[in-house]
C-alpha cells in the first residue's frame, strides 16, 4: 500500500480561501472587517518570521492586521496595559501574543489576561475548560488544523481508534479533546508509555506530537491507518553536502519516519507541507469565528471544531 | 484469583480522619476554621439527603458548615447574589451548589459565578482548564476519590494502561486528566467505541463511569487488573421479595458485574461501599485545600491531586 499524501499546503490554501470568502461576505453584508492583533515582545528571529507570515496572510484574506512590536525589556505592567486596550478595542476580534515571551514576563498571567473571546490561540484556561467540557471555545490552531484534515479525509471520525503521542498543553491534550469530541476512542501516549509500538499499532488514527525526529517507524503503523505528523524537527543532512561555512546542511523531518510509514499508512501528512501550513490558516479561521461571535452572527461553516 | 476488595468505606473514614487531624492543627496553630457553604435550591428528596450528609460530615471533621436552603422558585439574580456574598465571605472557604438546579436556573452560569478558588466541586471552567493544563486546581470529588484509592493501592501509577469508560464532564473526563497527570497511558472509551471488550481487556486499570448496571462483565477484565466502579445503579431484586405495597425490592449495583469481575481482577471496588463514600470525603479534603491556599499555607499532604 502506498499512502495517500495529505497535502497540508493545498488544504491550508483552501481554508484561507474559505476564510477570505466569508470575510468578503461579512464586509459586504454587515460592514464588518475582522481584525487580528499580534503582539511580539523582543526580537527572537523565529518569532519575527512567524509574526511576519501571520500579518501577511491576515491581510491576504481581507482582514485587518495590527502588529504591536515591543522592546525586549517591556515591563509586565506595560504588556498587560496593551492587552487591556486590545481587549476593549471593538476593531480587534483576535489577540495573539507570540510565544515564547522574554523570561521576566509570566506567560500564564499574560495569556490569561486576554479576553477569552479574543484568545485566538486558545491557550486561556477558560478556553481549555470550555473545550474540556464540550462547549463552544477558541481551539488551539495546530490541533484544530489536524482535526480539519482528518475530517476532510474521513468525513465522520466516530468510533475510530485514535492515538495521540505527546501530552503537551498546546497540541497533545487539546488534540485528544477534539478527537473525543468527534467520538473517537482516544488514547494518549507519552514518554512513560510502556509499549508504545503496541499502542500505535492498534490505531486507525495516529497523531504524533512529540518533537523527536522520526521516532515513529513505519512498522508501528497499522496497515491503512491515517498518520498526522505534527513534529517539525531539523536534522543534519550530510547527503546534501555542506554550507559555505563548512557546516553540514540540514533538513526538516517529522516525528514519524515518513519513508517507511508511507508504505503502510492509508494516508499521511508530509513534513514539511503537512500540518505546518494549517496552523496559520486556523489562526485566521479562529479570528473569523471570534468576529462572528462578537457580532452575534452564525459560526463560519466548516472552520470550527 | 480472587480480587482484593478495595474498601471505600474504610478508606473514606481514613481520609476524613486525616482531614480532621489537619483541621485541628489549623485551628490550634493558625486560629483558622475551614468553612463549607452548601446551597440547596428546592426540595428534591435525593438532594436533601446529600446535603444533610455533607453538613453532618463537615461538622464531624471540625469544620464550619453553612447551609443555605432556598425556595424552588428562587430567581437567578437572588441565587447569584447569594453566591457573590459567599465569594466575599472570608469564613467560607468552599462553596457547593447542589445539582441539579430547578430548570429555570442556568447551571453553567451559576457554577461559573463561584470564585474558582472556592469551587470545591471543581466544576468551574477555570478549574477544568487548570486541571487540563496540569496546574493546581480544585479537582472534582468523585474522580479525586478514585485517584486516591488507586494511589493507595498501587503507589505509583506511572506507565500503567488505564481505560476510563464514560466521557462525562463530572467523572470520565477529569478522571482521564488525573490518570494522565499520574503518567498512565490513558484511553477514554464510550458509547461509540467499536470494540469495548478489547479496549477493556488491555487495561491495568479500569474505571467504569457510565451509569449502566453491570455492563462490564468479568470476562472483559484482564487477569490482575484494578477495577474502580463509579456506577451506582438501582435494579429490581426479585430474589429479595416484595415490599409492603407489593412492589419488587431493589438493590444497588455498579457498572461492573461484580461477581464475575472479582474472580479476575487483582483489586476491585464494591458497590455500595466503594467509590461512593469517597466523594464526600474528597469534598472535605477540597475544602481543607481551599482553606490552606486561601491562607498561603502548604497544601494538605496526601489529600490533593
Determine the Cα–Cα distance for residues B254 and B257; give it in Å rounded to an integer.
7
Determine the Cα–Cα distance for residues A182 and B189; give it in Å rounded to an integer.
12
The pLDDT of residue A1 is 73
pLDDT in tens, chain B (305 residues): 789 999 999 999 999 999 999 999 999 999 999 999 999 999 999 999 999 999 999 999 999 999 999 999 999 999 999 999 999 999 999 999 999 999 999 999 999 999 999 999 999 999 999 999 999 999 999 999 999 999 999 999 999 999 999 999 999 999 999 999 999 999 999 999 999 999 999 999 999 999 999 999 999 999 999 999 999 999 999 999 999 999 999 999 999 999 999 999 999 999 999 999 999 999 999 999 999 999 999 999 999 99
The pLDDT of residue A30 is 97
Any chain B CB within 8 A of the CB of A54? no
B192 with A185: Cβ contact below 8 A: yes
Name every chain B residue with its beta carbon within 8 A of the beta carbon of A133. Answer: 125, 128, 169, 173
| Tens digit of each residue's pLDDT (9 = 90 or more) over A21-39 | 999 999 999 999 999 999 9
Q: Check: CB of residue A106 under 8 Å from CB of residue A76.
A: yes
B98 belongs to the catalytic site: yes
> Helices B276-294 & B141-154, crossing angle to 10 degrees?
100
Domains in chain A, start-ordered, CATH in brackets?
Answer: 29-119 (3.40.50.10860), 141-276 (3.40.50.720)
Q: What is the phi/psi pair of residue A5, to 5°?
A: -85, 125
Q: Check: CB of residue A273 under 8 Å from CB of residue A251.
A: no
The position carrying cell 469534598 is: B283
Pairing of strands B35-41, B94-97: parallel
Best of B121, B123, B133 to disrupt the A interface (most A CBs within 10 Å) is: B133
Catalytic residue among A18, A118, A119, A121: A121
Coil/strand/helix, residue A75: coil
What's the CA dihedral at B217, B222, B228, B231 to 10 degrees?
A: -20
The pLDDT of residue A240 is 95
Closest to A271 (Cα-Cα) out of A233, A222, A215, A218: A233
Q: What is the phi/psi pair of residue A70, to 5°?
A: -110, 150
Determine the Cα–Cα distance for residues B170 and B176; give it in Å rounded to an integer.
11
| Tens digit of each residue's pLDDT (9 = 90 or more) over A57-78 | 999 999 999 999 999 999 999 9
**A204 min Cα distance to partner chain B (Å):** 12
**B206 min Cα distance to partner chain A (Å):** 14
Name every chain B residue with its beta carbon within 8 A of the beta carbon of A193. Answer: 159, 185
ipTM above 0.90, yes or no: yes
Catalytic residue among B18, B54, B118, B173: B54
Any chain B CB within 8 A of the CB of A293? no
Q: Check: CB of residue B246 under 8 Å from CB of residue B227.
A: no
Q: How confident is the model at residue A193 (pLDDT cuts 50, 70, 90)?
A: very high
Any chain A CB within 8 A of the CB of B127? yes
Residue B127: closest C-alpha in chain A: A129
Any chain A CB within 8 A of the CB of B213? no
> How large is the average pLDDT for residues A282-287?
98
Q: pTM of whole model > 0.95?
A: yes
Closest to B100 (Cα-Cα) out of B173, B48, B172: B48
**B129 min Cα distance to partner chain A (Å):** 4
Average pLDDT over chain A, rounded to an integer: 97
Q: What percent of chain A has pLDDT over 70?
A: 100
The pLDDT of residue B152 is 97
The span from the first CA to the last CA of chain A, in angstroms, equals 31
B22 belongs to the catalytic site: no
The position carrying cell 444533610 is: B52
| Tens digit of each residue's pLDDT (9 = 90 or more) over A75-118 | 999 999 999 999 999 999 999 999 999 999 999 999 999 999 99
Q: Which residues 89-118 of A are in CB contact (within 8 Å) with B?
A: 108
Determine the Cα–Cα distance for residues B175 and B184; give it in Å rounded to an integer.
11
B84 belongs to the catalytic site: no
Determine the Cα–Cα distance for residues B256 and B220; give it in Å rounded to an integer.
10
Residue A27 is given by DSSP the state I
The pLDDT of residue A133 is 97
| Tens digit of each residue's pLDDT (9 = 90 or more) over B150-186 | 999 999 999 999 999 999 999 999 999 999 999 999 9
Any chain A CB within 8 A of the CB of B187? yes
Any chain A CB within 8 A of the CB of B133? yes
Amino acid at each position: 500500500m502506498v499512502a495517500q499524501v495529505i497535502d497540508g499546503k493545498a488544504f491550508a490554501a483552501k481554508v484561507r480561501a474559505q476564510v477570505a470568502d466569508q470575510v468578503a461576505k461579512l464586509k459586504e453584508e454587515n460592514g464588518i472587517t475582522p481584525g487580528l492583533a499580534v503582539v511580539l515582545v523582543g526580537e527572537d528571529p523565529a518569532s519575527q518570521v512567524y509574526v511576519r507570515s501571520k500579518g501577511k496572510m491576515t491581510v491576504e484574506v481581507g482582514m485587518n492586521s495590527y502588529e504591536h512590536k515591543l522592546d525586549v525589556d517591556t515591563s509586565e505592567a506595560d504588556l498587560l496595559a496593551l492587552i487591556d486596550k486590545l481587549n476593549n478595542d471593538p476593531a480587534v476580534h483576535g489577540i495573539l501574543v507570540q510565544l515564547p515571551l522574554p523570561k521576566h514576563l509570566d506567560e500564564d498571567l499574560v495569556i490569561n489576561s486576554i479576553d477569552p473571546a479574543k484568545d485566538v490561540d486558545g491557550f486561556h484556561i477558560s478556553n481549555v475548560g470550555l473545550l474540556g467540557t464540550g462547549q463552544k471555545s477558541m481551539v488551539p490552531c495546530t490541533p484544530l488544523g489536524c482535526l480539519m484534515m482528518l475530517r476532510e479525509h474521513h468525513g465522520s471520525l466516530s468510533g475510530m481508534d485514535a492515538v495521540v503521542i505527546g501530552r503537551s498543553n498546546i497540541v497533545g491534550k487539546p488534540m485528544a479533546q477534539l478527537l473525543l469530541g468527534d467520538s473517537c476512542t482516544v488514547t494518549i501516549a507519552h514518554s512513560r508509555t510502556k509499549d508504545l509500538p503496541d499502542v500505535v499499532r492498534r490505531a486507525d488514527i495516529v497523531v504524533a506530537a512529540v518533537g523527536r525526529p522520526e521516532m515513529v517507524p513505519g512498522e508501528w503503523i497499522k496497515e491503512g491507518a491515517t498518520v498526522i505528523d505534527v513534529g517539525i524537527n531539523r536534522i543534519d543532512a550530510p547527503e546534501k553536502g555542506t554550507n559555505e561555512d563548512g557546516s553540514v546542511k540540514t533538513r526538516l523531518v517529522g516525528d514519524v519516519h515518513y519513508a517507511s510509514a508511507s508504505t503502510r499508512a492509508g494516508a499521511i501528512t508530509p513534513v514539511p507541507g503537512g500540518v505546518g501550513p494549517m496552523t496559520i490558516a486556523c489562526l485566521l479561521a479562529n479570528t473569523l469565528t471570534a468576529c462572528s461571535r462578537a457580532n452575534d452572527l452564525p459560526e463560519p461553516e466548516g472552520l470550527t471544531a
